[in-house]
Chains A and B, each alone.
Chain A
Amino acid sequence: MEIKHTALAGTLESSDIQFTLSKGTGVEINLNSQVEKQFGKQIRKVITDLLAEYDIKNVTVRAVDKGALDCTIKARLIAAIQRATDTQNQPNWEVLG
């Protein structure tokens, strides 16, 4: 799938994560997290795996993490992807299931 325009999802509040997706070349992830040292690798894996499931090959991901759990990271990223690809009304059941 292709990123059509910049989109944002999530908040900067505790236990949440804010994603900004925009057009890019290749997959570029900029992660800002206070737990980067402990969980940076895991957070990046969740993001990379989900982007692969949606078949998104070109995107710049900005993530500001405030200690979100994996399920929150997934939920926020799915929302951002659907907004950025204009597919809010067409949920991808294969990924969501």
Chain B
Amino acid sequence: METTTLNLKDSYYYKQWQSLIQNEGLVIENLDDITETFGIYEDDKLIATGSYFENVLKYLAIDPDYQGGNIFNKLVSTLINELAAQNIFHVFVFTKPQYKKSFSYLGFNLIAETEYSALLETGDYSIDQYIAELPRISGKNISAIVMNANPFTLGHRYLVEQAAQKSDSVYVFVVNQDASLFKTSERLDLIKQGTADLDNVQVVSGGQYMVSFVTFPSYFIKSCSEVATYQTQLDAKVFKRIASALKITKRFVGSEPYSPTTEIYNQSLQKVLPPEVELEILDRKAIDQDIISATKVRQAIQANDLATVQKYVPETTYKFIKDNIKTLIGRIHDGN
């Protein structure tokens, strides 16, 4: 038996891999969401495979004749050791609920599950640690907003203001994934600056637990709507766990006229969060019937149209964009 890396760009390996994956009932979505793939061979036959993307294990499949033995342990161990060699020690797996036991035997802990999927993690960090590190705020009526804010606009500002008026305290969780035009640190800073005058608002990082490549990859990688439904329901479950620890009883979201993925996300939240967490959907803010959106801001940046940018964003965001317009246009051209 031999363990080796598989080059999926080579059709010889791709065909073997594809047939094993599909026999296991897994859907191949997009090869861009795979960093590296391993295979275990018995003579010339591929009997097991597993891949990872960043610190997430995926596409694990074992030939039915070899299931229930040591192959699964060997496969997961190979992946974990490879990630450890890259100094990645906190590892997630997104799998079907029936496999959660197999992973828990290997030291993985369950984060959340729905009837379709389960999310587990192992290593030197955990959701409990993330929760313990978050600032605690007092008040009876605590609410939350999760935003990417790429970048922070007057629309986001409106959402935060509404939440701040309707609750004693508000957590703003910032999506912590560098997959957007504005870097995570920039987005976080602009939200902090743009809400500095609101005393009952606490801006925190969403870590890897809110709308990240881990909980909700189709936010960043195009997928079919069925996959987005599975992922968003799981993301909502993870949120619920964090909400319960922080005594959050309400979540605000903006209505979504443009993005179908975000619309599916809002539907999943509505399905999963109540009754413990109430969901309130706020209408998006418009200026002269023109709905504010970060997409429009990014388009204006690309066109080097600062006048339009200024229309949609608060002064703090405008200043940042004006000072960094060349860098931002450069990033757009580099495909970010």
**Counting CB contacts under 8 A, is B245 at the interface?**
no
- Chain B residues 113-129 with CB under 8 Å of chain A are 122-124
Known: A18-B107, A22-B89, A64-B106. A11 touches B77 (CB 8 A): yes
If A8-B89, A13-B70, A32-B107 touch, whether A18 touches B77 (CB-CB below 8 Å) is: yes
Interface size in chain A (residues, C-beta < 8 A): 17
> Is residue B98 within 8 Å, beta carbon to beta carbon, of the partner chain?
no
Report yes or no: B89 in contact with A6, Cβ–Cβ below 8 A. yes
Report B60-94 CB contacts with A as 1/0, cut-off 8 Å.
Answer: 00000000001001101100110010010100000
The chain A residue sitting closest to B89, CB to CB, is: A6
With A8-B81, A22-B89, A32-B107 as contacts: A66 and B124 at CB distance below 8 Å: no
Q: Which residues of B contact A5 (CB under 8 A)?
A: 87
Give a binary string over A20-56; 1 marks a CB under 8 Å from any B CB, 0 the rest: 1010000000001010000000000000000000000
A-B contacts at CB below 8 angstroms, number: 46
- What's the minimum C-beta distance from B176 to chain A, rounded to whole angstroms? 20
Interface hub of B74, B84, B87 (most chain A Cβ within 10 A)? B84
Closest CB in chain A relative to B144 CB, distance in Å = 29
Max count, chain A CB within 10 A of own CB: residue among B73, B87, B106, B107: B107
Contact A20 B124 (CB under 8 A): yes
Residues of A within 8 A of B123 (CB): 6, 20, 62
Interface residues of A (CB under 8 A from B): 5-8, 11-14, 18, 20, 22, 32, 34, 60, 62, 64, 66
